Structure 1
């Protein structure tokens, strides 16, 4: 009998190999390289990794020409820039030259090689960083060639359209879209900007090696019946019974298709062979990857939970796994913080809330855990959590937008935020004040009233819009990225890891670095560049917002004095320096404060508006 045809091979051969690179052409490549070189110059100068030298005097708008020498004596870069608050560099991309000029377009990979000693990347990690730069450029070229919505068109769009429409990743990191592990075809299937929908794979995992935890109002069967449906649950139990396995001894667990085919089926082969892991098949619902890549929104049933899973791709300094150990405590931490926040009348008035991670599951690979004493991505390959969807929490007239959209600039160079403000019909500063009340003031209150900090960068906030203005926010990524900055805090045992010990002068960095440096610095640039407001007006508004909050809470005066929001300067904690030092694991997650890399001090832009 003839062997059956290899259908999968035939399918692969039917596709032209060019289809995965049809977005790469010289014109687009030159554009995205120039933009990335601009970002590299700006962010490395911001972190004092490079030190541009001024040439001549500034013009009336404070623009001047700068030169920065490469590692080789005959090579330098020249550009025009305007320096702004927080040592921010606003660079004119059209002015950048690599000299002596030999007529070649700017090249981000060449830039890294030009400065490889200055950047200080360890020799064994430099090729990986170049891979991350290549991947970032690959994705940028895709974003610039796809059919995109202009900033004006994007204003009225749906929540998930925003998630897929973003042209930029993290605003601070230069190599911010590495995703090393995806091949070019998988990029089309799983990268957020492609807008692709995919089904996730479900496994049955033996309870002896797995741990399920949830909020008190859920249990495994209730949650999974809601997420999978009773019919699918029954069919999965039947699959186990057909293998002479007892369904009661197993938990059901979602995994990303890439993770199953590329990692789990091989690294966990012993568990699969011994029926500790059973592959059940694809679920019925389709999901869309969010900007964080390993979190997925249910597009078939938007009211169902997000699913977040381990995904062993390297992106921005981490292999994106999830720790089974941390997963065990995730729901308890979410329950505790949810109770703290909902009991606080001030936070309720702001409408500030978290999207709870309602359940988690982690599977331990006993071989890797026995072999490795220290923290390792090999211990984090098989975990998942379920997070509340914000869809059911909306009121009539409200819609959602990732906060990353406030920094979005379309490929034509037009920013979304000015278009959003215009569509609201509100004066720009009035619109911004509404945003600051929804975003900055709750974060200040969490810190000053509860010593509580989050990781409030743009991707971790979901804005609630009403008539095109921000009225409230949802905070997400709670268990892994929250802390109470009081080592003596009295907490239940289940959430004790929330209490951390950090130096006194580090405590406000959760606001100064994550909010001022990580968000407002870039927002200020965008607003000034698009003529929305001046730099002085922007920071003066933030100062007025802070004083308004403080005036409303005289009972916290001792905390305001102890942690001065208007102090002259604060430590400059640098993200790119972390990634350049170790792009495989830039932070020790068990002790994040120990990994911080400082580069002197930043002048606090609010200090100029201190009231006597």
Structure 2
């Protein structure tokens, strides 16, 4: 059974002045740092060493440390907000209102963005209110304790925990930081309007037997027969309980009445929401597959549905990527692998299909996929950790990563070398050898640790986020979807932006707390690139053509995407076309080009 949900009064007990102030200072410091990084704000240095930002309302004074890749670390405790010459409490919502023109927020986007900021503050205050594991304890915790223990969300996005659509009780039930296991809803969907896709070595009967078991399957079949329906005419589809209650039971009412969609009941197993919120881990039987479902809430730039069109090709794409990865000697040597989405199912609601052009949110309300569990990949003595944990800082300001390094017995530099070999080297190989790119941010990778040291990584979210840049030959069938036309000058951004700016920019300052100087951090990154290229001299022409040691590279801005359109930041069918570029960033490994004077 789920834990009892608190009353409405108790559910807002965390919204107290002192916590709200801490949440506001935290988020405002992050906003100033990331908006300055994206050149939306231009802080001016004062004679006393502090910086100032002017808005149409208050002035903001603060202290900040600046590091490679134009990274701003704003001290939340240093923030001073001056309105008409008087100091007032920092207020994140007031800041967005006062700075909305500088941030490029239109009147159509501004209200939803304010909602997302309010929701992000709400969650931040809740996390400050709850007992939490210290960084030291979390560094040694199990996989699901780590998932629910993460507090920040995406490191670059400011409005990163919007979850617009969740009620007070929904937040307590389904937010990953609340750690409440819950049951999924099972639906029978008529094969005339639903399509189940599978990898070649998996049958529908095997999938359902492994996920549901014989007793549950017999019960589902009996329920259908009691309605005068044939079980042979239906597939079984898991849905998020919020999606069933808030969307499907009403918006698909005609389908339910026509018995093309039949409610079967709740799952026996209990699931825990992961950091990606619509992906669930089976806590009752961890060896079973993850389940990812459509969830029509607005969160971080997208309505989080799942496209039935994408689901049709997802297993084939995963099978192709997995075969390529697992056949490659270099990738095997790094221990790099993917978690395959082995089955996917999508329901095409006939009224929306007939009425709506394009593949918008209304067509993405009922779909799901099954992804391999990482538990089967563990060897004796190993454990799992989301890579997002490497950026985690607890409520007392202590970072998890230094604690993990201390537990390993290695120096910070030694630990970093192991990490880069497991994480960066395989990404370099995929890029240079196969023109294959992933979305390698923290939540999308699972680290396998042995002795608190990364020895292998598992990449996930393959179907929606993998791409092949300008393939030499057309890819057949569903694989055509992952062909990603990309100008040569932007191709290295899959490393320079997605890895360097998107993750290592935040990791470097945390490693400094463990005693590793910034120059040594980037020297190690450069050495990883150099070692890979020297080990594979056969692609020397590509290393010149796609130069990771270039002096600078174009600045790709994530918050600008969300500020421009917080309902669909990019078109997933052509993500390059919608990117926001502003200015350039100095490349922190340029000084370490092989052969250059150090």
CA contact (8 A) 1:71 1:116 kept: no
Which position in structure 1 is the counterpart of 2:293?
Answer: 309
Alpha carbons 2:435, 2:471 under 8 Å: kept: no
Match of 1:20 in 2: 11
Residue matched to 2:36: 45
CA distance in 2, matches of 1:228, 1:78: 58
1:16 Cα offset (Å) = 3.9
Match of 1:204 in 2: 188
Kept in 2: contact 1:203–1:253 (CA 8 A): yes
Which residue of the other structure, out of 55, 67, 72, is the alignment partner of 1:70?
A: 55
Partner of 1:33: 24
1:495 CA drift (Å): 1.2
Deviation at 1:539, TM superposition (A): 0.5
- Separation in structure 1 between the aligned mates of residue 190 and residue 65 of structure 2, nearest angstrom: 59
CA distance in 2, matches of 1:373, 1:92: 48
CA contact (8 A) 1:71 1:118 kept: no
Q: Is the 8 A contact 1:403 1:462 kept in 2?
A: yes
**Does 2:570 correspond to 1:579?**
no
User: 1:285 aligned to 2:285?
Assistant: no
User: 1:380: how far off?
Assistant: 0.3
Q: Residue 155 of structure 1: CA displacement?
A: 1.7
1:383 aligned partner: 367
Equivalents in 2 of 1:39, 1:557: separation in Å?
Answer: 40
Paired residue for 2:342?
A: 358
Partner residue, 2:579: 596
Q: From 257, 268, 291, give the equivalent of 2:252.
A: 268
Aligned partner of 2:310 in structure 1 is 326
Question: Would you say the 8 A contact 2:412–2:514 is kept in 1?
Answer: no
Contact 1:489-1:499 within 8 A present in 2 as well: no
The separation in 1 between residues aligned to 2:91 and 2:143, in whole angstroms, is 34
Q: CA deviation at 1:103?
A: 4.3
Corresponding residue for 1:5? none
Matches within 5 A, 1:2-401: 16-56=7-47, 64-72=49-57, 75-100=58-83, 102-401=86-385
Deviation at 1:490, TM superposition (A): 3.9
Distance 1:20 1:450 in 2: 50
Deviation at 1:356, TM superposition (A): 0.2
Are 1:507 and 2:491 matched, yes or no?
yes
SS of residue in 1 equivalent to 2:484: coil
d(CA) in 1 for partners of 2:560, 2:174: 29
Most deviating of 269-278 and 148-157? 148-157
Q: TM-score, normalised by structure 1?
A: 0.95
Q: Aligned partners of 1:190 and 1:17: how far apart in 2?
A: 16
Deviates more, 1:169-178 or 1:532-541: 532-541
Residues 1:552 and 2:543 are matched in the alignment: no
Deviation of 1:31 after TM superposition, in Å, equals 0.6
Q: Which sits farther off after the overlay, 299-308 or 531-540?
A: 531-540
| CA distance, structure 2, for counterparts of residue 356 and residue 518 of structure 1 | 24
Does the 8 Å contact 2:41/2:53 carry over to 1? yes
Deviates more, 1:417-426 or 1:372-381: 372-381
Deviation larger for 80-89 or 389-398: 80-89
Distance 2:97 2:517 in 1: 37
Structure 2 SS opposite 1:173: coil
Contact 1:454 1:481 in 2 (8 A): yes
| Structure 1 residue corresponding to 2:389, chosen from 395, 400, 405 | 405
CA RMSD of aligned residues (A): 1.2
Counterpart position of 1:60: none
> Larger deviation: 589-598 or 433-442?
589-598
**2:435 pairs with 1:451:** yes
CA contact (8 A) 2:123 2:161 kept: yes
In 2, the alpha carbon distance for the partners of 1:150 and 1:312 equals: 33
In the superposition, the TM-score normalised over structure 2's length comes to 0.97
The number of equivalent residue pairs is 591
SS at match of 1:567: coil
Aligned match of 1:466: 450
Distance 2:247 2:339 in 1: 29
CA distance in 1, matches of 2:67, 2:168: 38
Deviations 1:252-292 (A, max 9, x none): 00000000000001111110000000000001000000000
- Distance of 1:102 and 1:170 partners within structure 2: 34
* Gaps in structure 1 of 5+ consecutive residues: 1-10, 58-63
1:487: how far off? Answer: 4.2
State the Cα distance separating 1:79 from its structure 2 match. Answer: 1.0
1:576-610 Cα shifts (integer Å, max 9, x gaps): 00000011111111211111000111111011111
1:568 is aligned to 551
After TM superposition, the structure 1 stretch with the greater mean CA deviation from structure 2, 88-97 or 265-274, is 88-97
Shift of 1:525: 2.0
1:531 is displaced (CA, Å) by: 4.6
- In structure 2, runs of 5+ residues without a counterpart are none
Deviation >6 Å, runs of 4+? none
Tell me whether 551-560 or 244-253 shows the greater mean CA deviation: 551-560
Alpha carbons of 1:582 and 1:300: their partners in 2 closer, same or farther (altered >3 Å)? same
